[in-house]
Amino acid sequence: MKTKAWITVGAAICVAASSAAFAQERTFRTTAALEGVFQIPNPKATADLVLFPEGFAGHDLVNLALGMPLTTVQSNNVLALEIDCGSTLASLVIFDKTTSSNIVTIASSTQITALTGQDNVSLPGPGHERFVIQMNINNNGGLLGGSLTIAGRMYLDPSNGCPEAVKVDTDRGLDRLFADGFVKNTDDPTVKDVLISGVGHLIGNADVIFPDGSTNTVLFPFGQLTMRRQLLP
């Protein structure tokens, strides 16, 4: 049985590799919730440092990349994931709803490993995949570098292997096992997005310019992402 399982995995890798021929990139609205930790002076002895936990949402990443205060309300610029057909390139970006374009690349992939699954043999191709994406954070605004590792799942269009959004999420069986969860839209709670393209979790770190002008390292021991409706193309 183990031999058959490895043969099946090998076939899935081949399918993923052949899908890389589709270079078209698609952008999906993404909500995020990250748990961060950084150093601050100890109130009892300012020469010493203590660790301070802080939560970050998707709009916080947008504000940091744009060099804006975290208190800025973002009604137009939102976080999104851009990923190509075949899952060979991906980026966390800021999507401008007015111009319908990606205006800032927050982080760019350095490596993606993806495995596809075709549960319905009557379809022309796989309907979903699991991926691990390694990213470097770019120097933008209040972000001065860092790295992220994102692991999760994505729905695929069986006809061409491209990521897609669906109305009914039927691929939740392993979410608890892999710590993938749904992130509410705290950027604009009035938006009721019923489509889903994928979910994931992440770890990483970022060098951040704080309001006092100092540069500090923020660790992200854990975070979650939810990819929603397709924004582009």
The pLDDT tens digits of the residues spanning 24-66 come to 999 999 999 999 999 999 999 988 999 999 999 999 999 999 9
**pTM > 0.95:** no
Domain that holds residue 149: 2-232
pLDDT-derived band at 5 (thresholds 50, 70, 90) equals low
- The per-residue b/e assignment along 9-22, b for 16 or more CB within 10 angstroms, e otherwise, is eeebeebbeebbeb
**Overall average pLDDT of the 79-92 stretch:** 98
Nearest to 105 by CA among 131, 129, 79: 79
Structural domains in the chain (count): 1
Which of 226, 213, 208, 187 lies closest to 52 in space, CA to CA? 208
Report the DSSP beta bridge partners of residue 45: 42
Q: CA 160 from chain center: how many Å?
A: 22
Question: Does residue 72 have a pLDDT over 90?
Answer: yes
Say which residues have a Cβ less than 8 Å from residue 145's Cβ, sequence separation at least 6: 136, 137, 138, 139, 206, 207
Percent of the chain residues past pLDDT 70, beyond the cut = 90
- The structure tokens listed for 142 are 């209040």
Which stretches of the chain are assigned E, i.e. beta strand?
25-42, 45-57, 77-84, 90-96, 101-117, 128-137, 139-140, 143-155, 198-209, 215-232
Q: What is the mean pLDDT of the chain?
A: 91
Task: Report residue 62 as tokens.
Answer: 């947008």
Question: Which pLDDT score is estimated for 197?
Answer: 98
Q: Quick one: average pLDDT of 14-20?
A: 43
